[in-house]
Amino acid sequence: MKTKLTSRIVATTLVTALAGIGLTLPAAGATGPAAKPTLNKTHGTAHGKTHDKALQAGVDAILKTGTVGVVAQSTGPRGSRYANAGVADKATGAAARSGDRFRMASASKTFVATVVLQLVGEGRLSLDDSVEHWLPGVVSGNGNDGSRITVRQLLQHTSGLFNYTADFAPLTSVDAYQAGRYTTWTPEQLVGIAMRHAPEFEPGAKWSYSNTNYILAGMIIEKVTGHSWEQQVTRRIIRPLGLRDTSVPTTDTRISGRHLHGYSDFGKTGPTIDTTAFNPSAAGAAGAVIGTTADLTRFYKALLGGKLLRSAELKEMKTTVRTPDLDVVWPGASYGLGLMRIPLTCGGSYYSHAGDLPGSATRNGISPDGRRVVVLHATGDGASDLSTERAQSDLIDGELCA
């Protein structure tokens, strides 16, 4: 998301740092005093799953920055370890637990990019196809020209298209969110918001995150296959991998089953509210998927392990361009086709795609071969500085470097 998000009443370093990773930005104010860490042990394990002191320490560090609940899973050749802290629901006091569902926000983009690249591998479209070829007249007006933008540039965020969520009323304040959280949006309406603005730069000139790119990618999936992006993600990824706790809602405002609640005050524009229920059509292919740490882990292992894409398409996904806007949080980070690449402090790098919605954040790290995966989700606005983000990055880096 662009740093000149004047509609959000936030003006901290965090805005600049996280401008390129989620559907929206965490608000500047902390949710309140950190909840007391809860180990959630059952006979020495986290709800019957392997518990780990080092991982728990990292989770507790995130909670102490002002988040409400945190769940984390670290998986390697020897199996998975889990740690949790805080609460899943402030109203009931229910503890955050492994297996809780959550909205993964822009981590959804990796699913969408995977489907597009599968279609490329099947010869049904090309990364060099223009947007105009598949969506005639959709990207036009105010200097926007779909004939000059390729599918690759959409997935890579080098299209120059305005980020529609930077002019999206429901994200501006507590009152605006309350008023618009149940509205149904079509992809055409979301792209239309972006078309009210001139392009930010010439296609391919540089990198700048825009959720508009992935709304268009979802529309292209439907045009190519005759089925919605939600149906294609379900048929091609969720069902084959047995992701039983992952779903792709269209307009259902609820999260079924046991889940984590999000909490935000939208930059101190009102009281902290429960943000969990909302119409996911506002996010669409840019961030509507719901899942768990276990299901995300299985997806990442399959993807980076070469089970979802042919080697040529996986190589395209992992080919990155620099993202200097993100250096304040992830020095040296770069972006491929639906995946970020982030340097490790111990050498080498890992792949990732963060995701943010009001009051919740998904973070992850995957080794290049997919054998080691770390996934965490935290709720609440967190700290007004970068301490929450740094604690999350430290946990992922520490686990992958261990």
pLDDT tens-digit readout, 295-320: 999 999 999 999 999 999 999 999 99
For 246-294, what is each residue's pLDDT tens digit? Answer: 999 999 999 999 999 999 999 999 999 999 999 999 999 999 999 999 9
pLDDT for position 399? 97
Q: Supply the pLDDT for residue 27.
A: 36
Known active-site residue 106: yes
Per-residue burial over 150-165, b = 16 or more CB atoms within 10 Å of its CB, e = otherwise: bbbbbbbbbbbbbbbb
Domains annotated for the chain, with CATH where assigned, are: 13-401 (3.40.710.10)
Residue 165 neighbours by CB under 8 Å, 6+ apart: 1, 23, 24, 171, 211, 286
- Report residue 161 as tokens: 């298209």
pLDDT in tens, the chain (402 residues): 333 322 232 223 233 334 344 544 333 333 333 444 444 432 233 444 666 899 999 999 999 999 999 999 999 999 999 999 999 999 999 999 999 999 999 999 999 999 999 999 999 999 999 999 999 999 999 999 999 999 999 999 999 999 999 999 999 999 999 999 999 999 999 999 999 999 999 999 999 999 999 999 999 999 999 999 999 999 999 999 999 999 999 999 999 999 999 999 999 999 999 999 999 999 999 999 999 999 999 999 999 999 999 999 999 999 999 999 899 989 999 999 999 999 999 999 999 999 999 999 999 999 999 999 999 999 999 999 999 999 999 999 999 998
Q: Please tell me the predicted confidence (pLDDT) of residue 50.
A: 67
For 373, the 3-state DSSP assignment is: strand
- Identified catalytic residue from 74, 98, 106, 352: 106
Burial 80-107 (b: 16+ CB within 10 A, else e): bbbbbbbbbbbeeeebbbbbbbbbbbbb
Name, in order, each residue with C-beta under 8 angstroms of 279's C-beta and a sequence gap of 6 or more: 181, 182, 183, 184, 185, 251, 253
Whole-model pTM? Answer: 0.91
pLDDT at 52: 81
Q: How many helices (H) and strands (E) does the chain have?
A: 13, 18
